[in-house]
Structure 1
Amino acid sequence: MLVHPSYFIAPGDRTPLGATFDGFGTNFAIFSEVAEAIDLCLFDPDGAETKIRMTEVDGFVWHIRLAGLGPGTRYGYRVHGPWDPAHGLWCNPAKLLADPYALMFDGAIVDHPALLAYDPDRPDFPDLRDSAPYTLHGIVVSGAFDWRDDSPPRTPYEESLVYETHVKGLTMRHPGMRPALRGTYLGVAHPATVSHLKRIGVTAVELLPVHQSVTEASVSRRGLTNYWGYNTFGFFAPNRAYGASATPEGVVGEFKTMVRALHEDGIEVILDVVFNHTAEGGSDGPTYSLRGIDNPAYYRLDPVNPRQYVDTTGVGNSLNSHHPMSLRLVMDSLRYWVSEMHVDGFRFDLAPTLAREEGAVDRLSAFFGLVAQDPVLGQVKLIAEPWDVGPAGYQVGAFPPQWSEWNGQYRDVVRDFWRGRPAEVDDFVSRISGSRDIYARSGREPVASINFVTAHDGFTLRDVVSYESKHNEANGQQNRDGTDDNRSANYGVEGETDDPAVLAVRERQQRNLLATLLCSQGIPMLLGGDERGRSQRGNNNAFCQDSELTWQEWERQDAEAEDLEAFTATCATLRREHPVFRRRYYERERSSLPTGPGQPPGDVVFLRIDGAEMTEADRDTSFVRSFGLFLNGRGLNWLDTWGRPSSDDSFLLWFNAWDQAVLVTMPGTDLGTAWTGVLDTTHPRGESGVSFAARDTFKLPGRSMLVLRCTDFDTLPRLSDEVGRVSPVEVER
């Protein structure tokens, strides 16, 4: 049937879902089990709408093909069916519904009552106003792109250094690129950005959500925006706000260009994805897409009151991971971003929600099973945020072997140690040794732990050492939002100060936290901007701050920023060049190693400051703030990618979280006879010129960390006879 001078209707096909252009026309397919009829709605550049009734349905998938219709076409759906909110049915053809498989969107969300499916004055009745002028429209996209010889870096987990950042915030203030590129996908791919990432050793960027998202009405009414993007509108479409192109379909190509450029420099792209909920919120929220298409299929409904949702996300709804079509939506999206957009992995926001079976988180859930057997997803990195707000939502250590996890315990323990709070030293050494107690029981190794001391959600590194309390007044919620458990310290002054003594401590503490992170077993994750001392002025919940408060401060040219960047690069280089800091497997238990005279030491040895090995009683105390950690480079028990046994130098790390210096005695010759400093957090850039022999003594300054490499020289440089066996550390300090 001819419906327009340029295209013809054909039955089309039920697969694939979404709008698929094949070079001659576009096939549209959408699932709805509750629909009685569906209209495909096409919009011309002026907004005029053409409705086409979809008459073909196969297995609850409605489909149609329009020959002659191609890329750039704006479209949406109107679903006719039962209106019965009390039973979870919200069909209302007055509402234009976005295709959940749309590859791009155009337009803008306008805060208007027409976006509600129900009448605000009579909630049991449908609202009859047309929502099309106030919502986003899908765009037909061709997908054609010249990937050239793009090849994913496939960086081994243990060699990874992840950099969590925001597409816009990363480059919005960068002076080294044209203004039109700042804050865009192309800005991320710009040589000025890539050179910085490589300089500090980054192997993967973990981008805050890039799926098309929208700002909640409650936030926009405060004059703010959902900057982070954890309010997803579509799971396939890159956010147009980060595109430099004048056309929405051009943004898809820009995203691919970014990925290709980063791959050329050996940098992987990991996406932070939000499949646990959508932007439609609770039952009082707007109807954009899934609620009006098939509410019971896509959302978890309260079994007692189906008008309401089971909410384990804290934002009003939870995706229904029980339903096969909801699971298919998630899996199709993941495969699309790997196969068509060439990304290298995913970080799953509030991941336990996807694995809940009858309310409980289940390692044998359908979601985990689908991911485990999928040949596409088996090639990429899978990272869980292992908590949500539902019952038993804290699931650190409970994910299957294929997964790595954000290790919130690492963050908390490392922050507590360096700020001097009482904690068992055994807890600290467990975290920096890969959290064996958390992950080994599920058959995983150190790379299961994504170690971080800061992330987008919370204080920046500089704020961790500058504020003891949150300062979120700019968010417009009277400072009630955000956590109060910051595990931070201000060292005498809350916030910014000119006091040189306070600043010196803060700078050293930033270096201590960075050095600890990059010398720990597991996968380190840096928060973008921490390497240059970025501050959010004490805001620990800056999700709604799209401003200089959250954008990286590239224009800073002061010594503090430059020194901290250089220090970060030094730590990253040390980690990259020495596999002893990034073990593939956990250290062997001491009981399994040979003992006796002449036998090698263990893979890892914990030392008291008198040079003796720590006992279990030493490690169980809550007041030990100074100790040593020996890493045996000869004890690495794996083969490299060429099948050669891994071997490395041995290292000795000394930690002192007290605010005063402590006298340290080097261990005996069984661990090494000669040692040279390679990293010293008392120096702005980490330089160290110290050298020690076995049983030497020296003063380790307060709040400092010293890393020594075993050199086994027969003779060592000494100071004058007046200084004797005391190291330069004491003299210089």
Structure 2
Amino acid sequence: MFRIDDGSPSPLGATWDGKGVNFALFSAHATAVELCLFDPDGRREIERIRLPARTDQVWHVYVQGLLPGQLYGYRVHGAYEPRQGHRFNPHKLLVDPYARLLYGRIRWHDALFGYRAGAHRGDLTIDRRDSAPMVPKGVVEEPAYHWGDDRPPRRPWIDTVVYEAHVKGLTQLNESVPPQFRGSYEALGHPAVIEHLVRLGVTAVELLPIHAFADDRFLVEKGLRNYWGYSTLAYFAPDPRYMGPAGVIGLKTAIRSLHDAGIEVLLDVVYNHTCEGNHMGPTLSFRGIDNASYYKLSPENPRFCWDATGTGNTLDLSHPRVLQMVLDSLRHWVEAYHVDGFRFDLASTLARTPFDFDERAAFLQAASQDPVLSGVKLIAEPWDVGHGGYRVGGFPPGWSEWNDQFRDNVRGFWRGDPGELPHLARVITGCREIFGVRGRHPWAGVNFVTAHDGFTLHDLVSYNDKHNEANGENNQDGHNHNLSWNCGHEGETDDEGINATRARQKRNLLATLFFAQGVPMILMGDEVSRSQGGNNNAYAQDNEISWMDWSGDSRDPSLLAFLHNLTALRRRYAAFRRRDFLTGIPLKGSGLKDVYWLAPEGREMSHEDWGDGLRRTLGMQLGNDAPDGQRFLILFNADPEPVAFKLADTLPDGGWVHVFDTRISDGMVRETPAVLNPGGVFALEPRMVAMFQHARSVEIL
């Protein structure tokens, strides 16, 4: 039916040139590769073509006459020798690692496994059933899309505010979005969604994984789905489950609409492992194409995967072709989808060469010098579960990192834990001792109080313990180190006093986040007090537990306005967006320090004060070197009792005007503000943040 010739070994994947399609697949250890073409429904294999050429371990063929939309997969021949790390099985249809689009979904069946399920020898016995009916098919892509005058917003890190969101979770319940678009890529670009994000003041949306991923078999058998998406099947293809009527065009159009609103799009990406699991997992793609090349195998016994991710396998980025795949994938998303950056899940794994973390790992060096990737935002989740995997502060200049120490110390401080005062001062100044090396800046740390993994903001102040029963794992899943406080009652309550305390605690946590140095990140729905009912591991809850409620029936309807004011304050004043770390050293010229730490007694904090584990009140004065001339005094009080805070007379001359207060629902002091003069006293109520602006430079906020 088709004219066949050798084709080219590059580019990898399926590439349409207007006359036909070039197919190229890397496999170092295969003995033969077959291209399988399918009918439009993906049910019937209509053609099987043996790839005629092999160049530098890349198998390739050109098929003239094929058109975009053609469905395809591979069968790869070679040795089935698990003890040697090889698991070739031509009876298994395999997804092209470079597939730009996928059609269909995984239909779980024992035929998806390369070995005979239940066999006495386990994974050593080959399974000869055809898996094609149960495997998604690659789709030859029509790459044309007119981006017009779309330009990346290129927000400087110093001005960035990140909003971590889920495509479906953010849009599924928004009644302003037409029903046919809800939960889809297209919904991200709907005016109602963008208007909300603009009002909130965020500058970047960080989407949980949208690379095509698998619903794990154990979840499907329990009637659940993989909601978060950390189980990648194809690194170049958007997951089909979020496709709306316009298909992939809907995603590109949404990104362009977000750009038009000045909002960047960041992708949470999972290059540390795949959905194929350990040696007893399915054969869907990489395992059947070249298991010994794609995965790190145990040096003692290559039958088994080496695992630093807790998922059963680890991609081997020390292999040049695997590294190439990851870099090609990243560039594809920047060039074909105009995304503005990436957050790398378990990023420490990507820098293991081969088994230990190396700050000069090939991936880190390649990303830093790549002409495309070096120009976008790169965020590391700087840990994995392997030995030596906790690497906060260990990534090179040009990278930012999730700062879990900010999360834990701020939570502990506002919970009232003893000894947290020095830690609070450290994290709200950007963790200079961690990130202030090799010329890095405060924005090297991405600060957060909540993220997808753990309690929401509302649940953080409503539950002492996790409540993950809906996950079907007897509440054994999810971590127990929540540093949460239920304010006197576990779960929802009608007690007005408890609810008032919870509302203020949420405002305290958010104010601390936005007044700190570094990049603030907020979790989708925290602005409307979204609750997961105490579930701190809602990875399998593709339902109302995880979706954002847009109904307006919020537990704290003023919180959105509070966050809007916080983002506006941060955007307006340079003191909260420093380019350099605070040091506490006197400045040249004025002799003032760039930061003062103040005790309630009316003096600077002493060494003994910092060592007093029962102190829960701290003053911070900054802005003495701010380019806009704006100075601020911030008082933090996590004490359950009121504190009379006396203003030190070591501060700049002039009074301080009370402008912000977490006792107020939207935070803004509107009545005639009090002026606090040196030696004056301000009555701090229990658990509150108050901010003052220097009278000589005060503006109406």
Structure 1 length-normalised TM: 0.92
SS in 1 for 2:29: coil
Cα deviation code 1:536-594 (max 9, x no counterpart): 00000000000000000111334x4320000000111000111110101112451x635
Partner of 2:110: 113
Report the Cα offset of residue 442 of structure 1. 3.8
- Confirm whether residue 710 of structure 1 aligns to residue 701 of structure 2: no
**Does structure 1 residue 674 correspond to structure 2 residue 655?**
yes
C-alpha distance 672-494 of structure 1, shift in aligned 2 (>3 A): farther
In the TM superposition, what whole-angstrom CA distance separates every residue of 1:626-661 from its partner, at most 9, and x where no partner exists? Answer: 1110012x403xxxxxxxxx3231011011001121
2:685 counterpart of 1:701: yes
Q: Which moved more, 1:421-430 or 1:132-141?
A: 421-430
Structure 2: stretches of 5+ with no match in the other structure: none
Offset at 1:252?
A: 2.1
Structure 2 counterpart of 1:484: 480
Shift of 1:164: 0.2
The equivalent of 1:384 in structure 2 is 380
Aligned residue in 2 for 1:440: 436
Letter in structure 2 aligned against 1:105: L
Indicate yes or no: 2:55 matched with 1:58. yes
Structure 2 partner of 1:32: 27
Q: What residue in structure 1 maps to residue 569 of structure 2?
A: 574
SS at match of 2:59: strand
Mapping of 1:41-190 within 5 angstroms? 41-46=36-41, 47-49=43-45, 50-122=47-119, 123=122, 124-190=124-190
Could you tell me which residue of structure 1 aligns to residue 196 of structure 2? 196
Whether the 8 Å contact between 1:269 and 1:344 is mirrored in structure 2 is: yes
Question: How far is 1:677 from its partner?
Answer: 2.2
Q: Of 665, 668, 674, which residue of structure 2 is paired with 1:691? A: 674
Q: Counterparts of 1:499 and 1:315 in 2: how far apart (Å)?
A: 42
Give how far 1:701 is off: 0.7
C-alpha change, 1:490 and 1:279, in structure 2 (3 Å) is same
Q: SS of 1:158's equivalent? A: helix
| Among 601, 604, 611, the residue aligned to 2:602 | 611
1:182-218 CA deviation, whole Å, 9 max, x = no partner? 1111111111001110111100000000000011111
> Is 1:422 aligned to residue 456 of structure 2?
no
Q: How does 1:283-432 map to 2 (within 5 A)?
A: 283-432=279-428
Query: Contact 2:379–2:400 at 8 Å: present in 1 too?
Result: yes
- SS of alignment partner, residue 179 of structure 1: coil
Q: Is the 8 A contact 2:412 2:420 kept in 1?
A: no
Spell out the pairing of 1:212-227 with structure 2 (5 A cutoff).
212-227=212-227
Kept in 2, the 8 Å contact 1:673–1:713? The answer is no
Q: Deviations over 1:360-408 (max 9, x none)?
A: 1110111111112111111000000011000011111111112110000
Asked if 2 retains the 8 angstrom alpha-carbon contact of 1:270 and 1:345, the reply is yes
1:713: Cα distance to partner? Answer: 8.3
* Alignment partners' CA distance in 2, 1:297 and 1:693: 67
Q: 1:19 aligns to what?
A: 14
Whole-angstrom distance in 1 between the partners of 2:22 and 2:694: 66
Q: Secondary structure at the match of 1:450?
A: strand
Gaps of 5+ in 1: 637-645, 715-733
TM-score normalised to structure 2 length: 0.97
Q: Percent identity?
A: 48
CA RMSD of aligned residues (A): 1.4
Q: Provide the secondary structure at the position in 2 that maps to 1:13.
A: coil
Task: In structure 2, give the amino acid aligned to 1:513.
Answer: L
1:254–1:672 distance in 2 versus 1, CA, 3 Å: farther
Deviation at 1:693, TM superposition (A): 3.2
Which amino acid in structure 2 is aligned with residue 692 of structure 1? V
- Give the secondary structure class of the aligned counterpart of 1:361: coil
* 3-state DSSP of counterpart to 2:92: coil
- Alignment partners' CA distance in 1, 2:588 and 2:146: 57
Quote the Cα distance in structure 2 between the aligned partners of 1:620 and 1:26.
69
SS, match of residue 238 in structure 2: coil
Deviation at 1:73, TM superposition (A): 0.6
Q: Partner of 1:593 in structure 2?
A: 587
Question: 1:363 and 1:707 mapped to 2: Cα distance?
Answer: 40
Alignment of 1:611-650 (within 5 A): 611-632=602-623, 634-636=624-626, 646-650=627-631
Q: Does 1:563 align with 2:544?
A: no
Counterparts of 1:535 and 1:671 in 2: how far apart (Å)?
44
Match of 2:447 in 1: 451
Question: Are the equivalent residues in 2 in contact too, given 1:236–1:336 (CA < 8 A)?
Answer: yes
Amino acid at match of 1:288: L
Matched pairs, number: 690
Once the two structures are superposed, residues 227-253 of structure 1 have per-residue CA deviations (whole angstroms, 9 ceiling, x without a partner) of 0000001000011111112xxxx5221
In 2, Cα distance between the equivalents of 1:589 and 1:693? 23
Q: Following the alignment from structure 2 to structure 1, what is the Cα–Cα distance between the partners of residues 680 and 584?
A: 29
CA offset at residue 615 of structure 1? 2.1
Deviation at residue 51 of structure 1 after TM alignment: 0.5
Q: Distance in 1 between matches of 2:602 and 2:65?
A: 79
Q: Give the aligned residue type for 2:656.
A: W
SS in 1 for 2:237: coil
Quote the Cα distance in structure 2 between the aligned partners of 1:307 and 1:128: 20
